[in-house]
Amino acid sequence: MSKPALKAAKACIASSDWAGLETQCRKAISFEPASYTAHLFLGLALFNLGNHQESEAEYKQAIIIEAEERQQKDRKENPAPYQGLLKIYEAQKRVDEFVDTSIRLASILQDFDERIKCVATVEKAVEFAKNVGTKPQYKRALGCLLPGCPVFEYLEGLIPRPDHTYLKLVEMIEAEEKEKINKEIANRRSRLGSVLTQVKTAVRREVWEASPLEDLYQRILDWSDDEEIRRNVDCKQLQHAYDKLTVFPKEQKLAQRVKVESWARGLVILKYPFELAWKIVIEWKDCESLGDHDVNILREYIEFFPDTGLAMSLKAFLNSEISPFPIVKEEKKVEEADKDAKEKDAKEEKPKEPELIEDIIEERLNSMIDAVEKSKTSVLCHRILGEYYNLIEEYENAVDVARNAKKLIAFESIKTGLAFQKNQDALSVTLGTALIHFEAPKHHNEAKSHFEVVLQHNPNHGNALVGLGLILEEQGEYAGAVDLLNKAMAKDPENVRIISEAAWCNVLQGHYGIGQQGLENCLPKITGNDPRSRDLKAQILWRIGTCIWNADEAGRADRTQGPYKYYTAALHSNQNYAPAYTSLGIYYADILHDVGRANKCFQRAFELSAGEVEAAERLARSFSQTGEWELVEIIARRVAEADKKRSLPGQGISWPQSAIGVVELNNQNYDLAIKSFQSALKNSMDDFHSWIGLGEAYASSGRYTAALKVFTKAIALDGKNWFAKYMLANVNRDLGDFELACEGYREVLEIREREFGVLVDLSETLVAMAWRYIETGYYSRAMNSVVECMTIAEKALQERSDAFNLWKTVGDACMLFSWVQNLAHKFPKEDVLRILQAGDFELSEFDIMADDDDVGQKTLEKMQAGEVDDITSALYCGILAYKRAIFATADDRHAHAVAWYNLGTAEYRTYISLKKREMKHRVASIRCFKRTIKLEPGNHEFWNALGLATAEINPKVAQHSIVRALYINDKNARVWTNLGALYTLQEDYLLANEAFSRAQSTDPEYALAWVGQGIIAGILGEAREAQELFQHAFEISDQSLTPSKKHFITSTFDTLVKTKSEPSMASILTPIFALQKFSAQTSEIPALLQLSALFDERAGDFLAAVEKLERVCSIYETLYDETESEADLIKYAQSKADLARMQLGLQDYASSIENATLALDLSGDIKGLETSRLSAHLAAGLAHYYSQNMDESLEMFKSALTESEENPDVVCLLSQVLWAKGGEDERDVAREQLFACIETHPEHLGSILLLGTIGVLDASEEVTEAVLDDLRAFRSKPQLTRETKQKIDILLTAIAQLANGERHAAAAAAEAVFLRPAMPEAWSRLAEIAESEFAAETALKTVLAMKNVKAEELAEAYSGVAKVGASQRACFLAPWESRGWRALELDVNA
């Protein structure tokens, strides 16, 4: 039943009735499901109806059915279903299915031998993939045209050749890989921490490891018969393989490198001009010598690539002297030049070097340098250039090139995986050889290490053996050098250079016969006439001459067979051989004594080679003898800068660097001088003069510690040299170690007793040391230094009397006494007067400025007659010394200005130092300062001094001067302070404070700026701030400044006076110390002595206070007798009142009463002495009281009460006296006085405490109750001192004990502990009353925790603990306290 349906279906196909076709086909399938034709037609219908998916399924079903039928019947496969599928895939643009189906269809067509249709099918598949598909799909489609495709052999000849197809694939893959690499690098390089070079390597490795290019290149080579294509592909294959090699990891490099080398060598064999292949073959050649290269390959490379850097380098190499290969082209010019040279040698005695050869050498070198510039990564170019540099003796350049080459070969080794051991050894030898001669012997150790490394790989490496032998030769190890050279000679027995070096080593060892014979044997072997041969011959001839010179001193003068013959022969061989000229010059100088000809020879030798040290030194000595120091410097610099220096073997060369150091030192280029001297000492460690120069350079540049070590080393080398000791003393002086400096100068004077410079330096150092002593408070030592200074200055004046520094030192030494006036009696007046009159000097010249200061020749005579006191004599002698300095500096404008400044400073110092401030000295100082400003107006110190001198006379001039000083230098704290002082004098405190603040910011350690600010604070009523500022100024100041001490002392005393509590010892020790130093700096001032006595009183040193006040009273009494001034009388009365009080402290009651009475009698009705009268009344009252004169005591206290207008403290004293008198009436009066005082002064704690104590003693509850509330109120006040609180607690405890017994007393003591648990006294009291062991231990712990504790307090705490050990500690800490001993007695008896 299916046949009608299929027939109808065919009719539908003819009429293109696709819907009917579908209907008929489905009907046929319903009758016969396995109908191949029905499924085929149905697929066609569905395709035309647009139902591609079902259509594809029907075609595939038809293919399956047909396959089953073909298993039953042997027939060929029908192509129709596949053709249908192709239409579907084409319509749907399904490239992969289209290509696969096309290949299948082509195979079927092959079976039917339909070659044309088969070709069309394949070509259509490729074209469809190209137009519709992606690149990978197109590459896959191209596989239809390549071997491996089922129809390739059938269609071969009708489709494109495989090599063409492979080329298309290669082009596509190359583009894809390049794009992928660039894209991945761009993506990864932006990652955090990525390194571009690492990213590139990683990406390329990933892409190239998966790349099929290498296989494709090989397939092209297998199929292609086009030589041009094959060579291009060969190049691409090699390039690709080389690129892969550079990025592959180390373990994969070997296999890849084998392929690269094989392909590269193949291209070279074919002589194909692909540069990479040739460079691989040439550059990868690992050879010990350049002669191991294939010269044919080198020349072919030059021919193919003439413009490359490597070709330029190889061309220059092959035409140079270092090439072992035969000459082909350019060397003919050299042969012609050599021929010309031989002809000239036969005609001339001293042949001239042919210019043609020099030009060719220069041209070769330039070619090699250009080659390295063009091929910066070529190891071979660098190696050739390095060896050529060694040949022409440009060793510094050779070192640089060889070092760079070693870096390049290390990188190349990493990149390719090749060791390049022989190449590396060759470069090491080149570098080592250059280092031998470059700045010899500086780099010998490095060169030696290079040679030793090479010999570890190759013990018979000839050049390494020679190089190491040359180093040993330079180091004086001739035996070892000979052994190494003999080993090298065994490998190359015809090498004349090695033979000559071995013979020369024998000569240097002293084996003159053997050495000379060896050298003479070398001469016949030198047959060439090229420059190298002539140089070698000249060197050997000179060495023979030197051997004869050293071997036979008697035969040195022989001109026929002696050294002269060989020196001249050497010059005939090479007229530019410098050592021969040097030796010939020595011959003329030492044998013929012909200095002129000798100097010509030395000059010629030095012109040819700056490394001819002996010639240079002799020339330098010759020029130094004629005073031509510029030429000496030029010679020294040229020798020092020479790459290679020739001197006696084993001897260091230090004099050129030392000479340069001296020049730089004179030019104040200290860093350069240091480098030069250090370089000299590297060559010769025992060069004494270089050590001295280095030390001086260090000292001049401020590096004193280094200079100290250097001069110590110099003294160790030559302990008898006075100059080294002198320089060491100078350094110690610069370091501020004046004691050591003076010792050094004294040691020098033991050697050079009359050395003027040393005498002056010692005197200056003594003055500097004296000033240091004054700054540190050692005033007596300072004066001793001044006395010694005068002795040294007198010795110096015997040598020279016109030295400005000396007179300045004498003046400074004299003026130092103005800073320590209390020691003016030590002034060596007679010595100084002798000094002032020393030398060729008219005494009338002292009268300069005498019209102003009245200090001149007459003053000198008065001092000689003893009519002037010590301090005035010291000041006047200082002025006279400065006047002599003025005459000593008449020819030096700057020094003259300084001399006038010194004189002005001395005049002003005299004005402020003497008790009677005479205006003449101030006027003289102003004139001096004006004169010095005229001489040097740009010095801020001069303007500052003028401003200081005119401050009180003419404020406008003073301000102008100080402002001018600040304009010149606004970083000087002293000038800012002076400006602040000027504004303070003019009562402009705001500006003054700003000036002082600016001074502090400029130099926070300048004490007077803080003093000035403290003065302003005091003027403005800020007493506390002023005292803090004065204290800070005193703490940071040195001991030379009196203003800081003065204001600190007075402000501290004012603070102590205002403080009601008793000051601590720590608070008054510092001002007492300051007073002692201040007193030593000034002459005896009664006010100062009186203030010191008052401080002693507070320190409890009544004996010292009495001694001082007795001196004060004596001074004032003398002054009153002379002047009868009321002011002196008042001061005398005050001193007597103070003296009475001090004597009371000494328990000298009779003297106290006497002086107090005298003070009362003297004061009378004088106003201003109320405080002194009150003090005298109280002192007398207490003295009478302790003398048991109660009535007199009572009278005195009553008078004191009247004087003080019932001062509560006086009331307390009066009440104590009344109570002590013992009468009931007196005690009632005492109570009444205290009650009245408390009523009038309810805040006076002393009255309350005294009344409470009287109540306890009287057992009067009424009295104790009256004060109980007041005591409790006072107890809580925080401003009370520790002692006052303790008194309140004791009294409250006593009151409680009186009222309610022991139990309430313990409660009161416990209350005190509760209120103040940190007070050990409270715990001790509780322990005593309550007999509490815990309280006693707590008291001890509390005391131990305190920072500031007295020995008595600690002993008391220990004695409260009922233990023998604690009691022993109490006795040890305070043996003067009885409580500890009693506690120990109780503990022992317990």
Contact yes or no for 838/800 (Cβ under 8 A): no
Q: Say yes or no to pLDDT of 457 above 60.
A: yes
Contact yes or no for 386/401 (Cβ under 8 A): yes
pLDDT for residue 1065? 66
Residue predicted with more confidence, 906 or 648: 906
Residues 19-48 pLDDT 10s: 888 888 888 888 888 888 888 888 888 888
pLDDT category, 1262, cuts 50, 70, 90? low
Alpha helix ranges (H) inside 986-1101: 989-1002, 1007-1019, 1023-1036, 1042-1058, 1065-1081, 1086-1099
* C-alpha to C-alpha distance for 2 and 1336, rounded to whole angstroms: 133
Range of weakest confidence among 75-79, 584-588, 890-894, 1205-1209: 1205-1209
pLDDT category, 335, cuts 50, 70, 90? very low
Range of weakest confidence among 746-750, 1077-1081, 1110-1114: 1077-1081
Q: Which residues contact 614 (CB under 8 A, 6 or more apart)?
A: 582, 586, 646, 647, 648
Of all helices (H) and strands (E), which one includes residue 373? helix 355-374
Residue 853 has which token pair?
């200061």
Q: Which residues contact 956 (CB under 8 A, 6 or more apart)?
A: none
- Chain centroid to Cα 1013, Å, comes to 38
Three-state secondary structure call for residue 461 = coil
Q: Say yes or no to pLDDT of 337 above 50.
A: no
pLDDT for residue 718? 87
Residue 156 DSSP code:
B
- DSSP annotation string for 1172-1237: HHHHHHHHHHHHHHHTT-HHHHHHHHHHHHHHTTS-HHHHHHHHHHHHHH--HHHHHHHHHHHHHH
pLDDT for residue 906? 92
Q: Say yes or no to pLDDT of 1107 above 50.
A: yes
Q: Say yes or no to pLDDT of 1373 above 60.
A: yes
pLDDT category, 190, cuts 50, 70, 90? confident
Residue predicted with more confidence, 1364 or 968: 968
* C-alpha to C-alpha distance for 94 and 55, rounded to whole angstroms: 15
pLDDT for residue 312? 92
Q: What is the mean pLDDT of residues 741-745?
A: 92
CA quadruple 466, 468, 470, 472: dihedral sign: negative
Q: Which residues contact 552 (CB under 8 A, 6 or more apart)?
A: 562
Residue 1261 has which token pair?
């509850």
Q: What is the mean pLDDT of residues 238-245?
A: 87
For 586, other C-beta atoms within 10 Å of its C-beta total: 20
- DSSP annotation string for 864-883: HTT-S-HHHHHHHHHHHHHH
* C-alpha to C-alpha distance for 726 and 1340, rounded to whole angstroms: 63
Q: Say yes or no to pLDDT of 465 above 70.
A: yes
In b/e form, how buried is each residue of 695-729, taking b as 16+ CB within 10 angstroms?
A: bbbbbebebbebbbebbebbbeebeebbbbbbbbb
* C-alpha to C-alpha distance for 1363 and 1386, rounded to whole angstroms: 9
pLDDT for residue 562? 87
Q: Say yes or no to pLDDT of 1331 above 70.
A: no
Map tokens 């099918």 to a residue: 121
pLDDT for residue 1298? 61
Residue predicted with more confidence, 381 or 664: 381
Q: What is the mean pLDDT of residues 56-82?
A: 81
* C-alpha to C-alpha distance for 300 and 306, rounded to whole angstroms: 10
Contact yes or no for 1305/1293 (Cβ under 8 A): yes
pLDDT category, 532, cuts 50, 70, 90? confident
Contact yes or no for 324/289 (Cβ under 8 A): yes
Q: What is the mean pLDDT of residues 1261-1288?
A: 66
pLDDT for residue 1277? 67
Q: Which residues contact 1252 (CB under 8 A, 6 or more apart)?
A: 1263, 1264, 1267, 1268, 1271, 1291, 1295
pLDDT for residue 351? 41
Residue predicted with more confidence, 1234 or 82: 82
Residue 754 has which token pair?
């009359």
Tell me, letter by letter, the H, E, C secondary structure of 710-732: HHHHHHHHCCCCHHHHHHHHHHH
- Chain centroid to Cα 1206, Å, comes to 73
Residue 536 has which token pair?
């070698």
Q: What is the mean pLDDT of residues 86-102?
A: 84
Range of weakest confidence among 117-131, 340-354, 476-490, 881-895: 340-354
Q: What is the mean pLDDT of residues 1112-1137?
A: 82
Q: 1351 burial class (0-12, 13-18, 19+ CB within 10 angstroms)?
A: middle
* C-alpha to C-alpha distance for 932 and 983, rounded to whole angstroms: 25
Contact yes or no for 1317/1282 (Cβ under 8 A): no
pLDDT for residue 400? 92
Average pLDDT of every residue of the chain: 82
* C-alpha to C-alpha distance for 486 and 481, rounded to whole angstroms: 9
Q: Which residues contact 1070 (CB under 8 A, 6 or more apart)?
A: 1034, 1052
pLDDT for residue 1275? 63
- Chain centroid to Cα 1368, Å, comes to 58
Looking at mean pLDDT, say which of 626-635, 802-811, 1158-1167, 1356-1365 comes out highest. Answer: 802-811
> What does the angle CA 1095 – CA 1098 – CA 1101 come to, to the nearest 5 degrees?
85
Is the peptide bond prior to 649 cis by the omega test (within 30 degrees of 0)?
A: no
Cα 460 to Cα 406, 427, 454, 455, 489: the distances in Å are: 22, 16, 9, 7, 10
pLDDT for residue 349? 38
Residue 193, Ramachandran bin (φ over 0: left; ψ between -120 and 50: alpha; else beta):
left
Q: Say yes or no to pLDDT of 963 above 90.
A: yes
pLDDT for residue 1326? 63
Map tokens 């001086």 to a residue: 696
Q: Say yes or no to pLDDT of 331 above 60.
A: no
Range of weakest confidence among 187-191, 525-529, 866-870, 1161-1165: 1161-1165
Q: Say yes or no to pLDDT of 343 above 70.
A: no
Residue 139 has which token pair?
């590459």
Q: What is the mean pLDDT of residues 1187-1192?
A: 80
Q: What is the mean pLDDT of residues 1364-1385?
A: 79
Bridge partner list, 422: none
Q: Say yes or no to pLDDT of 170 above 60.
A: yes
Q: Say yes or no to pLDDT of 1280 above 70.
A: no
Q: Say yes or no to pLDDT of 342 above 50.
A: no
Q: Say yes or no to pLDDT of 1316 above 70.
A: no
* C-alpha to C-alpha distance for 502 and 486, rounded to whole angstroms: 7
Q: What is the mean pLDDT of residues 567-588?
A: 90
* C-alpha to C-alpha distance for 1100 and 1092, rounded to whole angstroms: 12
Map tokens 């001296």 to a residue: 662
Contact yes or no for 313/405 (Cβ under 8 A): no
Residues 316-330 pLDDT 10s: 988 888 888 887 754
Q: Which amino acid is at 1161?
A: D
- DSSP annotation string for 294-323: -HHHHHHHHHH-TTSHHHHHHHHHHTSTT-
pLDDT for residue 678? 85
Contact yes or no for 1186/1146 (Cβ under 8 A): no
Residue predicted with more confidence, 1239 or 980: 980
> What does the angle CA 409 – CA 410 – CA 414 come to, to the nearest 5 degrees?
110
Residue 496 has which token pair?
């004349």
Three-state secondary structure call for residue 1048 = helix
pLDDT category, 214, cuts 50, 70, 90? confident
Looking at mean pLDDT, say which of 227-236, 394-403, 1201-1210, 1349-1358 comes out highest. Answer: 394-403
Bridge partner list, 147: 149
Q: Say yes or no to pLDDT of 765 above 90.
A: yes
Range of weakest confidence among 515-524, 643-652, 1261-1270: 643-652
Please name which of 809, 775, 818, 771 lies closest in space to residue 791, comparing C-alpha atoms: 809
What percentage of the chain has pLDDT greater than the value 90?
A: 15
Q: What is the mean pLDDT of residues 547-553?
A: 88
* C-alpha to C-alpha distance for 944 and 4, rounded to whole angstroms: 139
